Amino acid sequence: MALRLLIADDHPLLVDGLVSVLEEIEDVLVLEPVSNGRQLIDRLKKWVVDVILLDLNMPHQDGIASLKIIKAEFVRVKVIIFTSYDQPKLIKEIKALGAEGYLLKTSNSTTLKKAIQAVAAGQTWFPETTVEPAESEMMSDDFVKKYQITKREVEIIRLIAAGLTTKQIGDCLFVSEFTVNSHRRNICRKLNIYTPVGLLNFAKEQGLV
């Protein structure tokens, strides 16, 4: 019996590419994709689905909220988070929520196929992650005293330097855009730096990226 796979992602060009790759896998039936979380849950109520490739950033209910519902109400369905966020803390959170896999969008087609086959066979698929440095290792006492920067603010500086938007930073840290903007204002005030380029240069100078 063919594996019934559903893609949940709101980027049509990416989805088209995924479908082309996945249709090459023997015994995999690619179902009609969905583009938001509410539509995903609605489809799960009507269709038999074995594995979901689930994006984190989707309108009308994001991937995290959708994953929680799936694991509470559709326990036989296996979920592979498919995202561009390579964040150890986020990967740990996804594991804790019960997902069977975590795959980066930078992965090649061979890795994509292996991940789906592994999860379908009852295994898990998560990238190897480096241990995040402890706060004491990440920021010296002199650094803290000089800039009065908190651990959360350092995380946000790193994500800003990586080019993420306010919404994307909020998704990574599981906080609202309002909270991110509040931290951002505090960072700018403490460092007297008010541009993304300035924050990027600061991050490089301090070894934060």
Which residues contact residue 149 at a Cβ distance below 8 angstroms, ignoring those fewer than 6 apart?
139, 143, 157, 187, 190, 191
Task: Let me know: does 87 contact 65? Beta carbons within 8 Å.
Answer: no
* Three-state SS at 7: strand
What CATH number does the domain located at 3-120 have? Answer: 3.40.50.2300
Per-residue pLDDT of the chain (209 residues; tens, 9 = 90+): 899 999 999 989 889 999 999 988 889 999 999 999 999 999 999 999 999 999 988 888 889 999 999 999 999 999 999 988 877 888 888 999 999 999 988 888 999 999 999 999 999 999 875 445 444 444 555 566 677 888 788 888 888 887 888 888 887 776 788 888 999 999 999 999 988 888 888 888 877 76
**How far is CA 208 from each of CA 42, 44, 140, 165, 201, rounded to the nearest angstrom?**
42, 42, 12, 18, 10
Q: Would you tell me which CATH number, out of the four given (1.10.10.10, 2.60.40.1510, 3.30.1490.20, 1.10.3720.10), belongs to the domain 135-205?
A: 1.10.10.10
pLDDT tens sequence across 152-184? 888 888 888 878 888 888 877 767 888 889 999
pLDDT tens sequence across 136-156? 444 555 566 677 888 788 888
Q: Is the dihedral of CA 62, 54, 95, 38 positive or negative?
A: positive
Domain spans, the chain: 3-120, 135-205
